[in-house]
């Protein structure tokens, strides 16, 4: 139980610090892109994809048309859509290829990454920097390991993925306020076993 509590406290503290440093202007641009898009597409790989799918589900509950890249029912991107691409390193091939393809057809690309100078960061119209350790530890090494902030209890992309999940859940709450939606409104689009 000691490790569970220690790790949960560390992740929560880290996520709050990271989220407080996210550029507010980029968040507003992200909100604007989602609001104005005909459809929102989300792409990620591994755990980042799972975080993206959780966000996609909540956007759907709010009434947005949303698709996860790779699902068999996902249509083609258009210049009236937006793509949210999630990659800690910003170098995940499936994610960077999706972002490049989206740019070619005029789709707005929102990158969520730890590295704004990465391939994803350079191809994105909007970049949300979740400044966490990703699976590329050498990029994190000099700024965090040498200062004693590295913890093996949060391996590989855990800090990025958990921080991104909390950021995106906070963004859903922001949409709820902006759209004057209540939990009962979201429940109408929530699939339930009855």
CA angle 127, 132, 133 (to 5 degrees): 125
Q: How many CB atoms within 10 Å of residue 181?
A: 16
The strand pairing partners of 42, in sequence order, are 68, 84
40 vs 144, 146, 150, CA distance in Å? 34, 39, 35
Respond yes or no: is residue 161 known to be catalytic. Answer: yes
174 vs 75, 102, 137, 146, CA distance in Å? 28, 26, 32, 36
Q: Pick the catalytic residue: 2, 91, 161, 183? A: 161
Q: Please give the positions annotated as active site.
A: 161
């Amino acid at each position: 139980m000691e490790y569970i509590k220690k790790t949960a406290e560390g992740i929560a503290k880290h996520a709050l610090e990271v989220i407080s440093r996210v550029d507010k202007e980029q968040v507003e641009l992200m909100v604007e892109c989602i609001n104005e898009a005909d459809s929102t597409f989300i792409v990620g790989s591994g755990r980042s994809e799972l975080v993206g799918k959780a966000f996609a589900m909540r956007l759907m509950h709010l009434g947005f048309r949303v698709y996860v890249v790779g699902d068999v029912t996902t249509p083609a991107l258009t210049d009236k859509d937006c793509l949210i691409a999630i990659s800690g390193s910003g170098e995940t091939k499936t994610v960077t290829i999706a972002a490049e393809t989206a740019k070619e057809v005029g789709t707005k690309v929102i990158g969520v990454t730890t590295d704004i100078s990465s391939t994803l960061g350079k191809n994105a119209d909007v970049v949300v920097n979740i400044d966490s350790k990703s699976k590329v530890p050498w990029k994190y090494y000099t700024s965090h390991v040498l200062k004693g902030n590295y913890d093996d209890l949060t391996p590989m992309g855990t800090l990025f993925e958990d921080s991104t999940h909390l950021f995106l859940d906070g963004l859903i709450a922001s949409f709820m306020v902006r759209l004057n939606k209540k939990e009962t409104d979201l429940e109408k689009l929530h699939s339930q076993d009855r």
